[in-house]
Chains A and B, each alone.
Chain A
Amino acid sequence: MYRLFLAARYIRMRPINWIGTLSIFVAVGALILILAIMSGFLEHSREHLRGHLADVTIAPSFDIPMNLEGAYPPRRPEPLLAAVRGEEKVRAAAAQMLWYGMLVPPRSEAVFSDRETMDMVMVSFVGIDLPDEYGVTQLREDLGRPVQFGSRDQRPDNLDDPFAYPAEYKPDPDQRPLDTILMGERQAAKWNLRKGDTLELATATIDQESGSFGQAANITVVLAGTYRSTFNELDLSRIYMRREALGDWLGRPGEFSQVALRLEDYEQDAKASVPRVREDLIERGLLHKPREHGASFAWEVQTWEQSRKAMLSAIENERALLGIMLGLVLLVAGFGVFAITSMMVTEKRRDIGILSALGATPGGILTLFLSIGGLEALLGIVCGIGTGVLAALKINEFEQWLSQTLGYQIFDRSVYYFDHIPTRIEYGGIVGIAVAAMLTALLSAAIPAIRAALLNPVDALRYE
């Protein structure tokens, strides 16, 4: 009993022990807060990505023959759409055409002039079919979001037909009618584009016969409206067009790049359904068979997680790396416990001798000093968990207060495209941090504790 009793008394009566507690407290609190923020970012990023990407995409490799007879996958989406729409767990399917090119803002004088290249923006064109697209992504919600960047409402006039000419655009009856596009609200604000403005898109098309990049192709389009997803990267790079219009521009009428699917319940169904859908499509001759040698063609059917694997793992890695770096804070805290316990062993040398004379075993003395480290850590962990969790829950209020006080926006919402700092408290993580902090403290206290246990009681009693 004396071990815990004396350890608690030493801690209470010798405030220097609180340094050990303080170092553990800071480490635990900071770890919990940072991991909560990183987990929040990860979760939000997943949710955002999730919203813009279809559950599953099926993208046949059109240029690779499927068999010795030289058959290629069909370039038009209808057979694939008909096949997947018959699948049990598929709620919706939509064909998309993807292409890359440049956005040439209205004030650029020359597209390929060196002087002006700074004005050209690489973008991806997404040709979509409406209303099919609304069934597989959250484009409709993105088109309906209230304006955040810029002062004007740039949303399309009619969400049921967002590619319709906006009221601001008056078509010239003498010219061929122009196609319309939808672009990210931020992109439009950046180039000061307004609904109804015309702008030019540029790309290079592939020569169908030679298979090489050939003709430069420009097209003038009308901005029919803007959308705002909650994912910055997509908003700055994606331009939506009618699939039919994109196909015509590229000289590939009616073609598609991929079919996007929405499953009934992704979390529940994806694992079982995706391989089944793929097998079914292979059987129907719409996708490539996995070859015995070489390519597996697994990329032809991908879940959203697979297609964004690099980005998701990057965030996950960042979290792990940050955790490791913050683990160093624990090491520093451990050093604090080591220093304080070492000091206590030196200071309490005589007490160690008295305890030996009164019948304490070396094991008991070891446990006494381990208990000092353990109790310091326990206090630090309890306070650290309380503060860390509270800070994670109140981080936005705190950030706002600090930003107002300092007159500097600490968390720039436009950079991350989050309107708040996302946090997610993971209880498993908290337990892990608490266990790691306790182990660090005990290991740090063990070295001086062993030194105390090995002290010769006679030498210890002589100590003044």
Chain B
Amino acid sequence: MSDPTPLIRARGIERSYKLGDRRLEILRGIDLDLWPGERLCLMGASGTGKSTLLNILGLLDRPTAGTVEIEGKNGWSLSTSRRAWYRNHRLGYVFQFYHLFAELNAVENAVLPAMIQTGPLSWFGRKGDVRKRAIELLTRFGLAERLKHRPGKLSGGEQQRVAIARALLLDPPILIADEPTGNLDRSTGESVLELLFEEQARRQIGLLLVTHDERLALRCDRVLHMEDGRIIGESRPAREGERQVPSTAPAGDAPQA
């Protein structure tokens, strides 16, 4: 039996910036695997390099050294357009500040990844299906009455739900969330998180989450603690028993039920 392939495998990731004559080391050799169905949390103080690592794993920022494999393919050896394809088809992003388009309503924001994927001619053939799927998602997220609203007319929690719907529209196997509740009040954050975890569990997505929130981290399968550009430790919080252990995770690397 061949070795199972992680969704993301990062090895020896380094990232530094030149600041005048000085070289600023942000990441200093990070190894990381994300498995299907896994909730992996990155924790650490501000400035430890969590977001930089997330950008590198999400194929948005090129590491100074190291490799990032997405489903077994070395992401940073791919062409620009192929990397864009991976971002569109295999990765979903949820940002702290939602990052919705102010000019588009909820449905239009949610269908954007599908629009990027599709040329003008084939779009008219697909448009109906895609919109239907977006509306179903938004309705499930409690936004049935808000479909035609632009971000300016939505609350923070509603905007983040639209952003999650956008990230999940194309059923990516990997979801990257950078402090998804960091900009929300506690109760709104809780409800958004519930929704995120529910969808992650239902779709068996590999979720890579950056947070400062200890309570949130406790609900993840693994927590990687970062400090000064390194992973200094890993913990496996006691989890509610109902979650299934991802079947492809090798022993010793997989979360415990």
Q: Give A residues with C-beta under 8 Å from B.
A: 1-2, 4-6, 9-10, 12-14, 350-351, 353-364, 456-458, 461, 464
Contact = CB atoms under 8 A, between A and B. Distances in A.
Contacts of B85: 359
A357 B87 contact: yes
Contacts of B119: 1
A461 B95 contact: yes
Contacts of B58: 357
A10 B103 contact: yes
B188 interface: no
A370 to B, nearest CB: 15
B80 A361 contact: yes
Contact of B120 (A1, A10, A364, A458): A1
Contacts of A359: 84-89, 113, 116-117
A211 B200 CA distance: 111
Contact of B60 (A4, A357, A363): A357
B115 interface: yes
Interface in B46-103: 55, 58, 60-61, 80-81, 84-89, 93, 95, 97, 99, 101-103
A1 B103 CA distance: 16
Contacts of A9: 103-104
Nearest to A351: B101
A184 B187 CA distance: 97
Interface string B178-202: 0000000000000000000000000
Those 9 A-B pairs whose CB atoms lie nearest each other, nearest first: A359-B88, A1-B123, A2-B115, A13-B103, A359-B87, A361-B84, A458-B61, A9-B103, A354-B99
Nearest to A364: B116
Interface of B: 55, 58, 60-61, 80-81, 84-89, 93, 95, 97, 99, 101-104, 112-113, 115-120, 123, 166
A375 to B, nearest CB: 14
A357 B81 contact: no
Given A1-B123, A350-B99, A457-B60, A360 B116 contact: yes
B89 A458 contact: no
Nearest to A354: B99
A363 B81 contact: yes
A344 to B, nearest CB: 11
A463 to B, nearest CB: 11
B80 A355 contact: no
A361 B60 contact: no
Contacts of B102: 13
Given A1-B120, A360-B116, A464-B97, 11 more contacts: A1-B123, A2-B115, A5-B115, A6-B103, A357-B60, A357-B87, A358-B116, A360-B88, A361-B81, A361-B84, A364-B84
Nearest to A1: B123
B116 A2 contact: yes
A136 B111 CA distance: 76
Nearest to A5: B115
A358 B112 contact: yes
Contacts of A458: 55, 60-61
Q: Which of B95, B115, B118, B166 has the most CB of A within 10 A?
A: B115
B87 A356 contact: yes
Nearest to B95: A461
A428 B217 CA distance: 69
A355 B119 CA distance: 15
B84 A1 contact: no
Contacts of B80: 361-362
A456 B55 CA distance: 11
A374 B83 CA distance: 28
Nearest to B120: A1
Given A358-B93, A361-B84, A458-B55, A1 B60 contact: no
B103 A358 contact: no
Q: Which of B60, B85, B97, B166 has the most CB of A within 10 A?
A: B60
A400 B8 CA distance: 76
Nearest to A355: B116
B66 to A, nearest CB: 17
A4 to B, nearest CB: 6
Contact of A358 (B61, B88, B97, B120): B88
A360 B104 contact: no
A359 B104 CA distance: 18
Contacts of A461: 60, 95, 99
Nearest to A357: B93
Contacts of A361: 80-81, 84
Given A1-B118, A458-B55, A358 B104 contact: no
B27 to A, nearest CB: 13
A457 B93 CA distance: 13
Q: Which of A10, A351, A458 has the most CB of B within 10 A?
A: A458
30 contacts: A1-B115, A1-B120, A1-B123, A2-B112, A2-B116, A4-B120, A5-B115, A6-B101, A6-B103, A13-B102, A13-B103, A354-B99, A355-B116, A356-B84, A356-B87, A357-B58, A357-B87, A358-B88, A358-B112, A359-B87, A359-B88, A360-B84, A360-B88, A361-B80, A361-B84, A363-B81, A364-B84, A457-B61, A458-B55, A464-B97
A464 B166 CA distance: 21
A225 B60 CA distance: 90
A65 B89 CA distance: 92
A364 B87 CA distance: 14
Nearest to A459: B61
Contacts of A5: 115
Q: Which of A13, A356, A358, A456 has the most CB of B within 10 A?
A: A358
A158 B118 CA distance: 82
A268 to B, nearest CB: 50
